[in-house]
Amino acid sequence: MNKEEIKKLLPHREPMLLLEEVDVNEQGEAVGKYTVKGDEFFLQGHFPGNPIVPGVIQCEMIAQTAVALIPDVHDSLPMYTGLNNVKFKNPLLPGDTAVMTVSLTARRGIFCFAKGKLEANGKLCTSAEFSFAIVPKKS
């Protein structure tokens, strides 16, 4: 899926759309990509002279990738409901291409449970387990 196709699934828009492409692989995992340009709003103060993508933004990149695995997300709002066992191993820097790999572990009604990781340059940056709800949009 390219960025325009992603916009049909995700309600996010720039500057919070943090996926440039996403596909589902043979193992049923969503694999997304985002290249950090260096001029993103979240790098402006984190940290001046030594920009590093904040961990919470990396978690958001992982979560956005999961939406490719949810067929009924159209016209809904995917909303975080939990974040567990988050680990930060290596920094994500301007110029890096983040590769997010996500799999669903369970689904109960509107609640989805997943695990994912974000890698760059062949190194693990972030891993997490998380949950989110597929909430109908208000008219």
Q: Annotated catalytic, 12?
A: no
Q: Who contacts 103 (Cβ-Cβ below 8 Å, separation ≥6)?
A: 27, 28, 29, 30, 69, 114, 115, 116
Backbone angles phi and psi of 43, in degrees to 5: -95, -15
CB-CB contact of 105 with 114 (8 Å) = yes
Check 12, 46, 77, 107 and give the catalytic one. Answer: 46
- Catalytic residues, by residue number, are 46
